[in-house]
Amino acid sequence: MMNARNSLTIAGLLIIAVGTWYMASSNKQDEITKSVADTAFGGYYLRSARILGTDESGQLLYEIRAEYGEQQEDNKIELQNVRIKYSSGADVPWTISADMAMIYDDQDVLRLSGHVVAVSDEGFSGQVTEIRAPLLNIDPNGYKAETDSRVQIRIGSRSLTATGMLALLQENKLNLKSNVSGKFVP
């Protein structure tokens, strides 16, 4: 049988347990609120983003599509699953895709990264051309693509690798910077 002393001990332990639970749950709520407040940023995000580039007269030059875009704290915009396609009026037969692109507030250059692939049916030497690189800076208004990283280029049945490249897309010119090696099949 329970005596008064045991009853008081159980009641005291119960009060301590309830008090500890209450304090722990209120502290946890404060931590969650603080964590959300610390990571919240007043920027914007986009789903199925579409950015159009035009010339001085308003004619469409290119279109940038992305599955997702988000403004970062330093006013740069991060785009995911990106595709850049020039319009037929721009006379640049290239389509470029990448896992990610960064658009910086003070620059006209997009920094593409992650499985960057540029493809043209009328590429260099008039043959189907494919350029692959892990990083590629592209100036869509200037029709230039450049990288200092390793590139793999396939022009028809020929393939090349190099470190660094400058591609003038409208002029269909390609300059490889260093460590060029290739395979040419007649």
Answer yes or no: do 138 and 152 share one domain.
Answer: yes
Residue 86 has pLDDT above 60, yes or no: yes
Q: What is the CATH number of the domain that holds 147?
A: 2.60.450.10
* pLDDT, position 52: 87
pLDDT at 151: 95
- Same-domain pairing of 75 and 102: yes
Tally of domains within the chain: 2
What pLDDT score does 7 carry? 60
Whether 29 and 53 map to the same domain: the answer is no
Q: Tens digits of per-residue pLDDT, 106-163?
A: 778 899 999 999 998 877 777 888 999 999 999 988 889 999 999 999 988 888 899 9
Same domain, 12 and 32: yes
Whether the CB-CB separation of 128 and 141 falls below 8 Å is answered with no
Q: Write out pLDDT tens, residues 10-37.
A: 666 667 766 666 666 655 544 444 444 4
Instruction: Please indicate, yes or no, whether residues 3 and 53 belong to a single structural domain of this protein.
Output: no
Query: Are 132 and 161 contained in the same domain?
Result: yes
143: left (phi over 0), alpha (psi -120 to 50) or beta: left
* % pLDDT > 90, the chain: 30
Pairing state between β 95-103 and 45-54: unpaired
pLDDT at 101 over 80: yes
Same domain, 64 and 135: yes
Q: Do 11 and 88 fall into the same domain?
A: no
Domain that holds residue 98: 46-183
- Asked whether the predicted pLDDT for residue 39 surpasses 50, the reply is no
Asked whether residue 130 falls in the same domain as residue 61, the answer is yes
Whether residues 89 and 36 share a domain: the answer is no
Q: How big is the CA angle at 47 (ends 46 and 52), to the nearest 5 degrees?
A: 70
Does residue 57 share a domain with residue 35?
no
Same domain, 93 and 112: yes
- State residue 97's pLDDT score: 95
% of the chain residues with pLDDT over 70:
75
